[in-house]
Copies of this chain bind each other. A is one copy, B any other.
């Protein structure tokens, strides 16, 4: 029997989904499970999108152009202009989700063995794409104490080798909820120019910025036109994760010509999803106002609640819809499994993502969990109460000593 590939062996299983069997068991046992483990919001997809789909008048579900429908690319260019990002339709290629945007961007720009520097904790699937493309992730630690702020530029400098080809950031950040300030991005810009690197930015949470803070795109960093590559998606913006429609954009013509060749090999992005994405461009501003207000309330409910639990540390994120919390436990992996298997309050329990999957060194996130505040407030309140009680009952309770905190 022929063996599988080396990449297949190295490929990580999803850390977000690996507790699924325990959640299924809890459900089978008649328990309710609050899913804070995955960024699948309960927010409704805009009505303009669903209305459009119900009124489809096509007879043949055809391929589109490999770069996407030209009307959609033009519409997207208008959208970017409306949020202050100057892009022409010819500088945008529609992809199958942000996932494919990043995969094709990496394939176009990086050779096997090249290094890409990523502040950690980072979105777990970056590891997967790095394995698929054969590049090495060089993590650069950030700390929960500083709210996962961008590390000082010297920390980046110290990791640059002759194989470094790119830096990848997620802004606002998954899993941290961190929103980078413009000054932070400007220091990155200088470094990228100095070392002639690509700068990839996953900006799929662009709309989700709170407390009056603004989002700053790498596409607006002066002098970075040939280096900046934008990864985007409609998944979170319009709560339509299943559409699998995203985009890659760059002013670098050579990069976009190369991405197009990879795009041609897979023929076209999904037609239904593109129709939905184009319709979503007509989403009224009031939709976002309501959604953002809702997320702020959810964030405050969850984060304020968590910080009132003894031994829990949870910095308040200013973007996206995730929070990272340090728990008073021996291992968040064990705790997340235990709470699904052995704990309930009013016959309800909570599913979380152990943070170790978001670190390249699993020891780093050993006591942390990622929580997605994508459920309504009443459920989040219940989840906080369940966590409070569970942490008191958990046999592996462990409050970090100050030396452990310092070592971290």
Binds B, one of A146-154, A251-259, A326-334, A335-343: A251-259
Whether the pair A66, B240 counts as a contact (CB closer than 8 A) is: no
A399 contacts chain B at the CB level, 8 A cutoff? no
Give the shortest distance, in Å, between A54 (CB) and chain B (any CB): 6
Residues of B within 8 A of A61 (CB): 45, 49, 239-243, 276
Binds B, one of A104-112, A213-221, A376-384: A104-112
Whether the pair B265, A129 counts as a contact (CB closer than 8 A) is: yes
A264 contacts chain B at the CB level, 8 A cutoff? yes
A297-335 interface mask toward B, CB cutoff 8 Å, 1 = contact, 0 = none?
Answer: 000000000000000000000000000000000000000
Whether the pair B56, A4 counts as a contact (CB closer than 8 A) is: no
A293 contacts chain B at the CB level, 8 A cutoff? no
Known: A1-B227, A61-B242. A266 touches B56 (CB 8 A): no
A55 contacts chain B at the CB level, 8 A cutoff? yes
A268 contacts chain B at the CB level, 8 A cutoff? yes
Q: A5-B109, A64-B242, A125-B264 are in contact. List 18 more A-B contacts (CB 8 A).
A: A1-B196, A5-B258, A11-B258, A14-B66, A17-B264, A40-B63, A44-B59, A45-B60, A54-B54, A60-B240, A63-B241, A97-B267, A125-B266, A128-B261, A132-B265, A242-B268, A242-B271, A270-B272
A51-88 interface mask toward B, CB cutoff 8 Å, 1 = contact, 0 = none?
Answer: 00111101111111010000000000000000000000
A7 contacts chain B at the CB level, 8 A cutoff? yes
* This chain's copy number in the assembly: 2
Residues of B within 8 A of A3 (CB): 254
Residues of B within 8 A of A64 (CB): 242
How far is A302 from B103 in the complex, measured between Cα atoms in Å? 41
Whether the pair B272, A276 counts as a contact (CB closer than 8 A) is: yes
Interface residues on A, range: 35 or more
Known: A54-B56, A100-B266, A108-B4. A62 touches B258 (CB 8 A): no
Residues of B within 8 A of A254 (CB): 3-4
Interface centre among A99, A266, A269 (most CB of B within 10 A): A266
A226 contacts chain B at the CB level, 8 A cutoff? yes
Residues of B within 8 A of A55 (CB): 54
Contact of A66 among B17, B166, B264 (CB under 8 A): B17
A30 contacts chain B at the CB level, 8 A cutoff? no
A6 contacts chain B at the CB level, 8 A cutoff? yes
* 10 pairs, A vs B, C-beta closer than 8 Å: A2-B227, A8-B258, A11-B261, A60-B240, A61-B240, A96-B96, A128-B261, A134-B134, A242-B270, A242-B271
A244 contacts chain B at the CB level, 8 A cutoff? yes
How far is A129 from B103 in the complex, measured between Cα atoms in Å? 13
Whether the pair A2, B198 counts as a contact (CB closer than 8 A) is: yes
Whether the pair A267, B243 counts as a contact (CB closer than 8 A) is: no
A177 contacts chain B at the CB level, 8 A cutoff? no
Whether the pair B103, A266 counts as a contact (CB closer than 8 A) is: yes
Query: 3 tightest CB-CB pairs across the interface, nearest first?
Result: A242-B271, A128-B265, A272-B272
Closest to A61 in B: B240
